[in-house]
Structure 1
Amino acid sequence: MLAYALCCSMKEMFARSSVSGRGDPCWQVTQQLHILIEKVTHTLIEKVTHTLIEKVSRVLPSLVMEDQAPSRPKVAAHVTGSLAPKAQREGGGSPGRRVQGQKISWWEGHNGLAFLQEVRLVDGELVVPRPGLYYIYAQTYFRHTHPEGEEEEEEDREQRGRPMLQYVYKKVSSYPVPILLMKTSRTSCWSRDSQFSLHSAHQGGLFPLAAGDHLLVTVSNASAIDMDERSSFFGAFLVS
């Protein structure tokens, strides 16, 4: 580094003398020395740069390997509402014993906004392919309809006062009863003056899951769910 600084100093000195003494007979010799100093300086810069690169490469190979390592496969699913026949929606699916609510089993897994990436959709349930920490979320829209001009029945009046409930369960092979992960509820006063009312129930959280675990959503009244893909959806993705 000292030699490099000396070369730079001599280069500046000869550059000034070259400008001020072009009529001097020694000018050509000075110019040749100036060119020689530039070559030496360039060589020194190359050597210093090469040395720095070698030293840095000894310290950072692990970082380089991390950048070149293949990315971890993504595990995610987002299923949406689908327009299933009314007969299929009436009463919802059977979630099994000791499970609250009616299971939504007519999720869409491939069309529109829905997708499945390493996750399977079986009878309305998401099947996790590998163990890890997952973020699970669900949203359902409850639609209450009342045809205009028709008198409201007693059953409709009772329905308007009931809470809207949504549950997210996990099914594991080692335990016979589905395990409740999350639940949410909402009580709203549905106006009799409007043709319909929409109210959402949504929730999400982080949970450890094992390979082969099933996830499912149940609601208090499956026939009242508005299954538009932007209104009702359910999903999970691997965090770590």
Structure 2
Amino acid sequence: MNEPYHQSPPRPANTLSPATMKTFMCFFTLFILAQIIGATLFGLYLFMKIDKVEEEMSLHDDYLFLRRIQKCTNGEDVDKTLLNCKEVVTKFHKLINEATKEVTVSANYEKLTANKEHPIAAHLVGQNSSQSTAVLQWMEKGYSAMRKMLGYKDGKLIVETPGFYYVYSQVSFCKNVTRGARAPFFHNLYLRKPHGNDRLLLKGVNTESSQNSSDCSLHSIHQGGVFDLQKGDMLFVNVTDSSRVNYSTGSTYFGMVRL
């Protein structure tokens, strides 16, 4: 008895599994990203390289220009197609002079601005000293004001920066003729050079009256002037009798300011 013939179905073709397909797509995506990043970095490198080459070319042009100027100055043979050497050198010198003037004006402006922002000045008020001395002493604190560009020592203001200064001083004193000494009261402002003698700059005087009084008659002498001072110059105030000086607030002071 014949058995029936059963035909087996055809075998399916080889297909990729989902895991393999996913892996392939990941590698493909990474490859594309690497290409994009590589192209971007290459473009950036190329841009920087071109910029550097342009800068070097510019410097090369400047060098050639200066070289031609040097040849014109030295009288060497230059390309006949160039402008006249005398005209080139003249214009070059004119350009240098204009640039130098601009730099000088800028520097002077900055210096003037700095002086306005940081003025050199001092204002000292009188300080009653226990010792009787002709040179008056001053307080550096309290109502006094002094910048670091001026020095102070033993009643003397010391100039650190040369220039024109307005120097002023006022001394208030007790005018009492019953003390027996009827000589005039002198208020002097002196300049002492680092290597020289004292020089009188300003002088004020108040003469005694013939009227006797047991009370203190208060008087003041004020004076000021402009002087050209150098570094190391010292200024101080001298009076005939410091025991008669009145040191109440605002009565006796000494100062200077750079113009």
Q: Please indicate the TM-score interval, normalised by the length of the shorter structure.
A: 0.5 to 0.7
The equivalences for 1:162-181 within 5 A come to 162-175=183-196, 177-181=197-201
After TM superposition, give the deviation of residue 182 of structure 1 in Å.
Answer: 1.1
Q: Which amino acid in structure 1 is aligned with residue 114 of structure 2?
A: S
Q: State how far apart, in whole Å, the 2-side matches of 1:77 and 1:191 are.
A: 39
Is 1:77 aligned with 2:122? yes
| Residue-by-residue CA offset, 1:138-182 (whole Å, 9 max, x unaligned) | 110111459xxxxx5xxx13x2x321101111111131x111111
Residue 224 of structure 2: aligned partner: 204
After TM superposition, give the deviation of residue 192 of structure 1 in Å.
Answer: 3.4
Q: TM-score, normalised by structure 1?
A: 0.57
After TM superposition, give the deviation of residue 69 of structure 1 in Å.
Answer: 7.5
Residue 126 of structure 1: aligned partner: 157
Q: State how far apart, in whole Å, the 2-side matches of 1:142 and 1:216 are.
A: 17
Aligned length: 153
Q: Which amino acid in structure 1 is aligned with residue 121 of structure 2?
A: A
SS of the residue 1:71 aligns to: helix
| Residue-by-residue CA offset, 1:60-110 (whole Å, 9 max, x unaligned) | xx89x959984313110111112333xx2x2x1xxxxxxxxx211x21122
Q: Which has the higher contact order (CA 8 A, sep 6+)?
A: 1
Is 1:227 aligned with 2:227? no
Q: Which amino acid in structure 2 is aligned with residue 170 of structure 1?
A: L
Q: Which of 138, 153, 167 pairs up with 1:136?
A: 167
Q: State how far apart, in whole Å, the 1-side matches of 2:139 and 2:210 are.
A: 28
SS of the residue 1:107 aligns to: strand
| Residue-by-residue CA offset, 1:97-135 (whole Å, 9 max, x unaligned) | xxxxx211x2112212x1111212100000011100000
Q: State how far apart, in whole Å, the 2-side matches of 1:167 and 1:133 are.
A: 20
Q: Which amino acid in structure 2 is aligned with residue 222 of structure 1?
A: S
Q: For the structure 1 residues 109 and 209, does the alpha-carbon distance in structure 2 shift closer, same or farther, using more than 3 Å as the test?
A: same
Q: State how far apart, in whole Å, the 2-side matches of 1:143 and 1:69 are.
A: 43
SS of the residue 2:114 aligns to: coil
Q: For the structure 1 residues 71 and 132, does the alpha-carbon distance in structure 2 shift closer, same or farther, using more than 3 Å as the test?
A: same
| Runs of at least 5 residues in structure 1 that lack an aligned partner in the other structure | 1-61, 93-101, 147-151
Tell me which moved more, 130-139 or 186-195: 186-195
SS of the residue 2:195 aligns to: coil
Contact 2:176/2:212, CA 8 A, preserved across alignment: no
Larger radius of gyration: 2
Residue 15 of structure 1: aligned partner: none
Contact 2:176/2:213, CA 8 A, preserved across alignment: no
Q: Which has the higher helix share?
A: 2
Q: TM-score, normalised by structure 2?
A: 0.53
Is 1:103 aligned with 2:148? no
Q: State how far apart, in whole Å, the 2-side matches of 1:144 and 1:68 are.
A: 47
Deviating 4+ runs (over 6 angstroms) = none
Pairwise CA RMSD of aligned residues?
Answer: 2.8
SS of the residue 2:243 aligns to: helix
The percentage of aligned residue pairs carrying the same residue is 28
